[in-house]
């Protein structure tokens, strides 16, 4: 397959993921089908199509694809977990349990499969086994929101309201605006006749937004190019949690894209104040300052970013560009040359991003060598 086809498939996958996050499943389906036109037998795209059918509650269609993939995919833990969920939604609990146990036979510590196993046992009325699955999951990931919530619900079902509240409060320690958990907490307090606490929890569940949800929606909207809608979503998240540093960073990027540089700078400044260790926020703060022609200040930001990661190619390039604009060609040339040494990991920046940065840097090096006379 050509590099251009692979690049197109990767782009389509990211676009489909964004639509899925926004729950625009029909649009996600159309994007995945475009990918399958390019590569009909692609296992990943077929699996993605099955996941979209699942989200659209077309469980038979989803299951049909997944069962076909069992003959093609060697690593089966995720595949059989998804098969188990289809059977679960179709109320075929015996088949669901059998499928999830195939998944766990591949990896007994798979968090998603343990969670599904817990759900199935709960539906079957096997509360001891359900507890066991969720407890094992929590021994691996003690802050797993979904498992803590399910343990709380199981304890509530058994009339153990104090134990239920312990689980709900653990979630609220790191997700204080989780509406579902706040409602469950209120109901448990109500059963204990703690009406004031019940009222507080239930009122809070009505009056606040879950900042994580709205930040994630903003990221998906930005990826699809809906930056103004993304900005609204980020602001809604920050209204609930003004100290959400990554959301300030994401807001800054969206504001920068729509050309609101002063507001973008304010967002990046807030992000770096809340989390001084976010090198990308420092780098973006520097780029924004450069666009505002505050070049010396932008250099300080790149230095902060590089103090956090010396191999940060984007900060080296941006430092070089600022130095070039300040008419310091030899220092700029040195920064550009260092940029090319530090190719990033593929999981940090995609190949296309690196290729563009590399070309821009190589062009800058040639330009400066002519100026210097080398």
Least confident range of 105-109, 114-118, 200-204: 200-204
Q: Give me the number of domains the chain comprises.
A: 2
Answer with the residue of higher pLDDT: 2 or 334. 334
**pLDDT score at 340:** 92
Whole-Å CA distances, 127 to 95, 132, 149, 153, 180: 19, 8, 15, 11, 21
pLDDT at 22: 93
Give a yes or no: residue 132 inside a domain. no
Task: Look at residue 2 in the predicted model and tell me its pLDDT.
Answer: 58
pLDDT of residue 346 exceeding 80, the answer is: no
Domain boundary among 73, 91, 118: 73
Q: How is residue 178 annotated by DSSP? A: -
Query: pLDDT class for 46, splitting at 50, 70, 90?
Result: very high
Q: pLDDT category, 39, cuts 50, 70, 90?
A: very high
Query: Domain residues for 43?
Result: 1-73
Residue 120 domain-assigned? no
Residue ending a domain, among 17, 51, 73, is 73
**Cα–Cα dist 289/341, whole Å:** 26
Lowest-confidence segment of 143-157, 246-260, 301-315, 341-355 by average pLDDT: 341-355
CA dihedral 118, 124, 125, 130 (to 10 degrees): -10
Between residues 328 and 203, which one has the greater pLDDT? 328
Domain CATH for 284: 1.25.40.10
Does residue 53 sit within a domain?
A: yes
Mean pLDDT calculated for residue range 192-206: 85
Torsion of CA 167, 168, 172, 174, to 10 degrees: 30
> Mean of the pLDDT values across residues 112-140?
96
- Asked which of 28, 51, 73 is the last residue of a domain, the reply is 73
Residue 204 falls inside a structural domain:
no
Q: In this prediction, what percent of the chain has a pLDDT beyond 70?
A: 96
- Give per-residue pLDDT as tens, 263-292: 999 999 999 999 999 999 999 999 999 999
Q: What is the pLDDT of residue 352?
A: 76
pTM above 0.85, yes or no: no
Least confident of 70-84, 321-335, 348-362: 348-362
Q: State the CB neighbour count (10 A cutoff) for residue 109.
A: 12
């Amino acid at each position: 397959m050509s590099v251009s086809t692979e690049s197109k498939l990767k782009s389509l996958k990211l676009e489909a993921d964004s639509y899925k996050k926004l729950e625009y499943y029909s649009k996600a389906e159309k994007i995945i089908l475009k990918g399958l036109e390019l590569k009909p037998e692609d296992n990943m795209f077929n699996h993605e199509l099955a996941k979209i059918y699942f989200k659209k509650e077309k469980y038979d269609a989803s299951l049909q694809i997944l069962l076909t993939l069992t003959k093609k995919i060697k690593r089966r833990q995720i595949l059989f977990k998804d098969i188990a969920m289809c059977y679960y939604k179709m109320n075929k609990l015996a088949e669901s349990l059998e499928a999830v146990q195939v998944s766990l036979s591949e990896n007994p510590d798979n968090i998603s499969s343990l969670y599904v196993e817990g759900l199935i046992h709960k539906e079957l009325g096997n509360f001891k086994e359900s507890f066991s699955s969720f407890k094992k999951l929590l021994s691996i990931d003690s802050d797993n929101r979904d498992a803590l919530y399910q343990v709380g619900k199981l304890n509530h079902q058994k009339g153990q309201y104090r134990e239920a509240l312990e689980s709900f409060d653990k979630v609220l320690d790191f997700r204080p605006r989780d509406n579902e958990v706040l409602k469950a907490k209120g109901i448990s307090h109500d059963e204990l006749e703690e009406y004031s606490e019940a009222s507080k929890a239930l009122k809070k569940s009505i009056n606040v937004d879950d900042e994580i949800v709205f930040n994630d929606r903003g990221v998906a909207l930005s990826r699809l190019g809906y930056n103004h809608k993304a900005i609204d979503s980020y602001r809604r998240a920050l209204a609930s949690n003004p100290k959400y540093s990554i959301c300030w960073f994401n807001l800054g990027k969206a504001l920068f894209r729509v050309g609101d540089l002063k507001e973008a700078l304010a967002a990046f400044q807030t992000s770096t104040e809340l989390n001084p260790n976010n090198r990308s926020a420092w780098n973006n703060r520097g780029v924004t300052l450069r666009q505002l022609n505050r070049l010396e200040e932008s250099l300080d930001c790149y230095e902060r970013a590089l103090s956090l990661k010396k191999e940060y190619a984007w900060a080296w390039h941006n430092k070089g560009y600022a130095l070039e604009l300040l008419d310091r060609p030899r220092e700029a040339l040195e920064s550009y040359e260092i940029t090319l040494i530090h190719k990033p990991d593929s999981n940090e920046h995609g190949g296309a991003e690196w290729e563009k940065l590399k070309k821009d840097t190589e062009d800058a090096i040639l330009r400066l060598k002519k100026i210097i006379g080398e």
